[in-house]
Homo-oligomer: A and B are copies of this chain.
Amino acid sequence: MQTTPLMALAQAMTATAHPRALGLEVISVEKGRARLSLPYRAELVGEPETGVIAGGAITALLDHVCGVAVMTALAAPAPIATLDLRIDYMRPAAVGRIVLAEAHCYKVTHSIAFVRATAYEDSADDPIASASAAFILTGTQLHPWSSAPA
């Protein structure tokens, strides 16, 4: 088995308490791109009558996958902080299905990284929700979303 440095970085970011509590898993990662999964679990259900997982879990998934994609886009791991995050929700997640999210950090300037992400079950063409976010590259002025894992 082989783990690339980017995969190790993504897994270290996902091993912190909040992503772990949600059950997030890294599926694949390449420079500027990340794909994660959120397995369906009873504890995530927000609506007991239907079994649909809480919107907040989708929010957290998209928030995290954006951060991972930004980190992998940088030349070297560095502190990043979410500057803003916007999520649009299209429809409920299918009951009992794994939710995937993929993010693409499409632009890095001197001080800001821009990223978009989509959550879905089968195809990004039938999205559950989509996100766009901006991250600031020095975590010191703003909210340190994450530091680079050692």
- Point out residues on A near B: beta carbons under 8 Å: 16-19, 21, 42-50, 52, 54-60, 63-64, 67, 81-93, 106-107, 109-112, 114, 116, 125, 127-130, 132, 134, 136, 139, 141-147
Contact = CB atoms under 8 A, between A and B. Distances in A.
B59 A141 contact: no
Given A111-B111, A134-B84, A147-B49, A54 B17 contact: yes
Given A90-B142, A92-B144, 16 more contacts: A18-B46, A18-B57, A18-B60, A50-B147, A55-B81, A55-B146, A56-B60, A81-B92, A82-B87, A83-B89, A84-B88, A85-B87, A88-B132, A89-B143, A111-B141, A116-B116
A144 B83 contact: no
Q: How many copies does the complex hold?
A: 4
A54 B92 contact: no
Contacts of A86: 84-87, 132
- Looking at chain A's contact residues, the main secondary structure is mixed
A107 to B, nearest CB: 5
16 contacts: A16-B45, A17-B43, A18-B44, A46-B144, A47-B146, A52-B144, A84-B84, A85-B89, A86-B86, A88-B114, A90-B107, A90-B109, A91-B109, A92-B142, A92-B143, A129-B143
B87 A84 contact: yes
